[in-house]
Amino acid sequence: MQEIVFETDGNLSFRLDDQPVLGMGGGGPRPEPGTNWREHSVQFDRRGHLDTMQPRWQADMYGSRNPVAMLLGTGGWAIFVATPWGQVDLPKPDRGVFLPWRPTDAERVPQTHDNQQPNLGKGLPPADTVVPGLYDLFIFDAHDPVITMKDFSVITGPAAMPPLWALGYMQSHRTLENDAQMLGIIDTFRQKNIPLDAIIYLGTGFTPRGWNTPQPSFEFNPEVFTRDPKAVIAEMHARNVRWLSAHGSLGSGQAPNASWNNPAPARRDARRVAHLQLLAATCPFVKAGVDAFWPDEGDWFNLFERLKRHQLYYQGHLFTHRNVRSWSVQRNGYPGIAPWGGWVWSGDTESAWKTLEAQIAVGLNYSLSIGPYWG
């Protein structure tokens, strides 16, 4: 199926054929400065390029980049380099190369909200977890795509079943006058016989009305909710519509980064305490009737923290309602989020027909290499 060579320089090479190579996560290449991305062809087949595998937030036709070294060769093979992180070089027609990440001193500085812009270690595993020369490599017989995806799910964990309404239409808002307007929007959809399953409201962070609380935040905007939020959400439920809270990041801002991934006993205890604190933080929202969460940002989290955040939102909801399917949609993901109900949306994109065209390739490649659910 494949021919793997561990080269003397530490790189890993593999055979390419004349068939497309798909997968490698969500998103696409960053356009060259000064070029018009609306005139570019959409990248679906990953061959022909060096992919730096740099996680990023991006606002063109692709949206965010969530890279994964999971390559699905449509000629009947697939490989997944789970460790180490690295770049994927596919410009040659007959041979691909995986170049392992060799962290620089700058990339060893933990990423935070304040220093995230340089893209140094953003979205990557912590540099101190890299073991030079160590590979975790999986090779698949990919002649039958159904079997291949089943095999991949054995590694990543099976996907949790989402609530049925999450497959429907959701109407998003960031500017609302009051809670009466929310209910009026639902009534208008119903009057016009337009299907509507959920309302999304960006309640904190980046709101034009000027009420922006620090992230993470679990509060209802007092300028919008003139009545008890629990009563307002109950009226939405009576109209058979769910409510999503879109808000700031629930994440490592409340605990030292190291406590999320360091196995030392003291760090383990700190991680467990922080985990429970963050789970409890969602409880007031869930008890008020909030059905799901759309956490924004989180781009500066390292890879382990990104995975952990999906787990937190999934278990946080079950912490309060054990028999209700948890759901959240986030901007960052990697293999392993599926068991935590992990959904990823393609990030903040430009509103253009080219964007709509590109989303087909983005969604397919994402679903072939991270998880089955995407938006």
Strand ordering across the sheet containing 66-73: 21-26, 66-73, 77-83, 136-141
Helix (H, G, I), strand (E, B) or coil at 98: strand
CB-based contact 70:78 (threshold 8 Å): yes
* Region(s) of the chain under CATH 3.20.20.80: 164-367
Q: Domain 164-367: give its CATH code.
A: 3.20.20.80
CB-based contact 204:213 (threshold 8 Å): yes
Give 23-73 pLDDT, tens digit per residue.
Answer: 999 999 999 889 999 999 999 999 999 999 999 888 799 999 999 999 999
Cis upstream peptide for 91 (omega within 30°): no
The whole-chain average pLDDT of the chain stands at 86
Q: Which of 2, 309, 302 is nearest to 141 (CA)?
A: 2
Give 256-283 pLDDT, tens digit per residue.
Answer: 333 344 444 445 555 555 666 666 666 7
pLDDT at 147: 95
For the chain, the straight-line distance linking the first and the last C-alpha, in angstroms and rounded, comes to 33
Better pLDDT: 62 or 225: 62
Better pLDDT: 217 or 137: 137
Helix and strand numbers (H, E) in the chain are: 7, 15
- pTM comes to 0.89
Give 170-195 pLDDT, tens digit per residue.
Answer: 998 877 888 999 999 999 999 999 99
